[in-house]
Amino acid sequence: MNLNDFTYFAAVAQHGGFTAAARAIGVDKARLSRSVAMLEETLGVRLIHRSTRSISLTDAGQRFYQGCQTVLGSARAAFESVAELQKEPTGTVRLGCSVVAAQIYIAPILPLYLAEHPKVTVIVEHGDRWINPLDSDLDLALTTRVEDLPGSSLVAREIGRVRRILVAGAALADTTAALAHPDDMAGIPLIARADDLYDSEVRWQLTRNDCPACRVTGAPRLLTNDLNIQLSAAVAGIGLALLPETTAAPALSDGRLHHVLPDWSTPEYSLHLVYPLPRGILPSVRSFIDFLTTNLWPNGLR
For residue 9, being part of any structural domain is answered with yes
Q: How far apart are CA 42 and CA 128, in angstroms?
A: 57
Q: Which residues pair with 162 in a beta bridge?
A: 269
Return contacts of 248-254, CB within 8 angstroms, 24+ apart: 248/165, 248/167, 251/167, 252/167
Selection from 231, 255, 99 nearest residue 164 by Cα: 231
Give me the domain span that covers residue 134.
91-161+269-295
For residue 14, being part of any structural domain is answered with yes
pLDDT of residue 85: 60
- The CB density around residue 245, as the number of other CB atoms within 10 Å, is 18
pLDDT of residue 261: 94
**Contact (CB, 8 A) for 156 and 132:** no
| Domain containing residue 19: CATH number | 1.10.10.10
9 and 74 fall within a common domain: yes
DSSP 35: H
Give the domain-ending residue among 31, 63, 86.
86
133 and 278 fall within a common domain: yes
Instruction: Note down pLDDT in tens along the chain; length 302 residues.
Output: 688 888 888 888 888 888 888 888 888 888 988 999 998 988 899 999 887 677 889 999 899 988 888 888 888 878 767 766 667 788 899 998 887 788 888 988 999 999 999 999 999 987 655 555 555 678 888 887 666 565 556 788 888 888 899 999 999 988 998 899 898 998 899 999 888 888 888 999 999 887 778 888 888 999 998 888 999 999 999 999 999 888 898 899 999 999 999 999 998 888 888 887 766 678 888 899 999 988 887 544 34
Give the domain-ending residue among 26, 56, 86.
86
Non-local CB neighbours of 168 within 8 Å, separated by 6+ positions? 175, 176, 234, 237, 239, 240, 241, 257, 258, 260
Global pTM value: 0.60
252 and 205 fall within a common domain: yes
**Contact (CB, 8 A) for 9 and 35:** yes
**Contact (CB, 8 A) for 6 and 61:** no
pLDDT of residue 69: 85
252 and 277 fall within a common domain: no
pLDDT of residue 302: 42
Domain count, the chain: 3
10 and 154 fall within a common domain: no
**Contact (CB, 8 A) for 140 and 289:** yes
The amino acid that residue 285 corresponds to is: V
pLDDT of residue 156: 84
For residue 102, being part of any structural domain is answered with yes
273 and 153 fall within a common domain: yes
DSSP 105: I
145 and 182 fall within a common domain: no
